[in-house]
Amino acid sequence: MGLAEPLFRSAPLLVREAMALVEGCDCTGGCPACIGPVSEADECSGATQRQDAGLVSAPVSSRSPAEVSTSLSCPTFVQPGEKQRRFDALRTLIRRREHSQHRVLKAPAGEEIAPGLRYVETVLHYEASTTIAVPAIGEEPLDRRRLLCFDTETTGLAGGVGTRAFMIGVAAWKDDALTVRQLYLTAIAGERAMLQMFSDWLSPETILVSYNGKSYDAPLLKGRLRLNRVNHQLADLPHIDWLHPTRRVYKHHLPNCKLATIEREVLRIIREDDLPGSEAPAAWLAYLRGQSSVNLSRVLDHNRQDVITLMRLGDHLTSRESL
């Protein structure tokens, strides 16, 4: 795992070195430096060697196991110009790869605080009481300043070890102001720094607030924190997930309890030009590939509105006598 990214970055160099090695080799039927001991090459029949050029270019799925094994162990170039044709194809691939790597898009917002990591902060006026009553946590009203609303944007919705968060947004209230802080990756190398900063935002007094975060966001972050060896207290903090009380109240009154539906039908929040969360992974990948940063900017807006809505939804739900 630790070598994957350096090897990916060095792929053009590795291919060029491999090409130089093969071009400088005078052997036409395979030599120990390429295919192992000579005795193994001698076991290949002449008929098999004549078929190698076709086997190498054929899809692996169309070959039998014996053909795949033979083609890998006995490479040769029988057709006239075959060797040069393949070298030309490799050179074309390298040129395309290098051209795409040179295009680096400007990040849509924020300042770079670590290699591959950017930070965006937004302060909004939010007039509210200093306490909020949450029966699920305790009898006494809570200090609103302890609430940390958080949401992630990830590379996929299935979860699991291969899924990672490329954006983390949090919102915290103090003195009639709601401060939204967002971290997002412009390169995979920034993941550990992002997770470390998120961990630093947590204190023993923090109360986490999310929407379906107990089932998705928190477990995903715990896994990534563990894989990146970042110490955290995520599992030890109280966690309010507004999805569950929202379902109890509205499941018989609304077609679904998605956050977008609750915003529109209950909180009367209308988002303009909002990018659906399901399109966030594609937007981030398009930015990494140097294609466009427009939709990544929309993902930032989407994430910012999500954490603001969490605070507003909490005020709405806790003001109801049924809760």
**pLDDT digit string, tens, across residues 172-184:** 999 899 999 999 9
**Segments of the chain scoring below 50 in pLDDT:** 1, 38-61, 68-74, 321-323
Question: Tokens at residue 308, please?
Answer: 């603001």
Q: In the chain, which segments carry CATH 3.30.420.10?
A: 111-318
CATH superfamily of 111-318: Ribonuclease H-like superfamily/Ribonuclease H (3.30.420.10)
Residue 289 CA neighbour count, 13 Å, CB half: 9
**The pLDDT of residue 84:** 79
**The pLDDT of residue 139:** 65
**Is the model's pTM score more than 0.75?**
no
**The pLDDT of residue 42:** 47
For 248, other C-beta atoms within 10 Å of its C-beta total: 13
For 135, other C-beta atoms within 10 Å of its C-beta total: 9
**The pLDDT of residue 123:** 96
For the chain, give the secondary structure using H, E and C: CCCHHHHHHCHHHHHHHHHHHHHCCCCCCCCHHHHCCHHHHHCCCHHHHHHHHHHHHCCHHHCCHHHHHHHHHCCCCCCCCHHHHHHHHHHHHHHHHHHHHHCCCCCCCCEEEECCEEEEEEEEECCCCCEECCCCCCCCCEEHHHEEEEEEEECCCCCCCCCCEEEEEEEEEECCEEEEEEEEECCHHHHHHHHHHHHHHCCCCCEEEECCCCCCHHHHHHHHHHHCCCCCCHHHCCEEECHHHHHHHHCCCCCCCCHHHHHHHHHCCCCCCCCCHHHHHHHHHHHHCCCCCHHHHHHHHHHHHHHHHHHHHHHHHHCCCCC
